[in-house]
Amino acid sequence: MSIGTTIKKLRRDRNITQEQLAELLGVSTNAVSQWERDKTAPDISHLPVLANIFEVSADVLLEIDIAKSKKQSEIKEFTAKYAEFHSQGKTEERLHLCRAMQKKYPNDETIRYYLMRVLQNGYVDESFDEIVALGEQLLNSTNMQFRTGTIQCLCYTYLHHGNKEKALQYADMIPPAMDLRLHVLEGDELVEHCQKYIWKVCDRMYLYMKYLIDCKEAGYTNEEKHSMWNTLYDMIHMIFSEKDFGFWHDRLGRISFFMALESGKQKLFDRAMQELEQAIMHFEGYQSFHAISHTSLLVNKVKVDLSNIAKSTDETLGHTYLRYLNHNDAVFASIKDTPRYLNIKERLSNL
């Protein structure tokens, strides 16, 4: 209950009209009406007078608002801590944080949403029923971020569970991209909006390229796959023309690794080695990245730091791609004992 609702209840309980209360306080009737509709709040100087009129303590007037404010503060701290853990790839810590807050505020929408996401992120097999239950509660949320995120979460969960039909049902609930803000914003807000879109669309291109190349039905040859990855590598360089990559060292390193695999499958080992070393250079660049204010023309209003980057694991990129390299040892069998290849593995293990 808000302070406005409390004033309205106390006034009616004592058979006081808005006009009478306004006169006692020396304010307009419209001011009292605004308070009771939570359009505005009374000045703090009015609280002792209101308390005297209603014969209650000021704490009674403020109690509900204080509790609400305390909860809002705790939820804000929770989401900040969750984001911190997510940027560090600490899945277990995110789950413990959500469970603790769930006990305190079991019906809070924000906590339900973040709990659903961490379960889908790291515990999808054992938590299928809970993820679905949380998701169904959130589908009617008025928070568009929560609703869209819930649809995505349920789509991926059902897909992981082998229910393609159900996954497609949720996939079709996401509307085609319609960026209406583009037509509304002006000035600096428009500039920032457009540049952030360009920044994000690069990541979408990476994702779509990965799915396209991995689809057997596309029928691409190894050289064609290499050429496609190389095209995306060059496109990202065009957008970040001043080599102010920051986070994009991550994607450029991954792309370089995939190019090396396609080169290796064609037994173009010199090219593959160059691309693996190029991948390591980018992984090193990402490892040293903490924050960046981009300078390239297409994105020179965009600022990014590690807190904006979500990670599903705390494993380093170097160790992840060393595992992938070991998994593909057969591709590099004829050079696996050469000093240059062994050095590449050592450098990855040290990242």
Helix H or strand E segment including 317? helix 317-327
* Sequence-separated (6 or more) residues with CB below 8 Å from residue 20: none
Q: pLDDT tens digit string along 106-151?
A: 889 999 999 999 999 889 999 999 999 999 999 989 998 899 999 9
Inter-CA distances, 145 with 9, 120, 140, 285, Å: 35, 17, 12, 32
- Alpha-carbon gap, residue 330 to 157, rounded angstroms: 33
* 68 pLDDT more than 70: no
Instruction: For residue range 203-220, list pLDDT tens digits in order.
Output: 889 999 999 999 999 999
Q: Which amino acid is at 167?
A: A
Secondary structure of residue 93 in the 3-state scheme: helix
Q: Bin 254: left if φ > 0, else alpha if -120 < ψ < 50, else beta.
A: alpha
The helix/strand/coil state of 123 is: coil
| Short-list 290, 345, 286, 288, CA closest to 321 | 345
- Given this model, what pLDDT does residue 64 score? 53
Q: What is the pLDDT of residues 218-266, one digit of tens each?
A: 999 999 999 999 999 999 999 999 999 999 999 999 999 999 999 999 9
Neighbour-count burial for 50-69, b at 16+ CB within 10 Å, e otherwise: bbebbeeeeeebbeebeeee
**d(C-alpha 65, C-alpha 72), whole Å:** 10
d(CA 32, CA 50): 11
| Per-residue confidence (pLDDT) for residue 178, from 0 to 100 | 66
| Of 8-12, 81-85, 159-163, minimum mean pLDDT range | 8-12
Residue 72: pLDDT band by 50, 70, 90 thresholds?
Answer: confident
Percent of the chain exceeding pLDDT 90 equals: 65
The pLDDT tens digits of the residues spanning 27-37 come to 999 999 998 88
Q: Tell me the pTM.
A: 0.68
- Other CB atoms closer than 10 Å to residue 92's CB: what's the count? 12
Q: Which amino acid is at 303?
A: K
**Model confidence over 162-191: pLDDT tens digits?**
999 999 898 888 876 667 688 778 899 999
Separation of alpha carbons 113 and 109, rounded Å: 6
For residue 293, the cross-strand partners are: 303
Is the per-residue pLDDT at 18 higher than 70? yes
pLDDT for the residue numbered 162: 92
**Which pLDDT does position 221 carry in this prediction?**
96
The mean per-residue pLDDT over the stretch 89-98 comes to: 94
- The residue that leads in pLDDT, 150 or 57, is 150
How many CB atoms sit inside 10 A of residue 302's CB?
19
Residue 44, burial from CB neighbour count under 10 angstroms (0-12, 13-18, 19+): exposed
Domains of the chain: 3-56 (1.10.260.40), 74-171 (1.25.40.10), 181-306+314-349 (no CATH)
Distances (CA, A) of 122 to 83, 113, 261: 15, 15, 28
Q: What pLDDT is recorded for position 203? A: 87
pLDDT tops 70 at residue 71: yes
- Find the radius of gyration of the CA atoms of the chain: 28
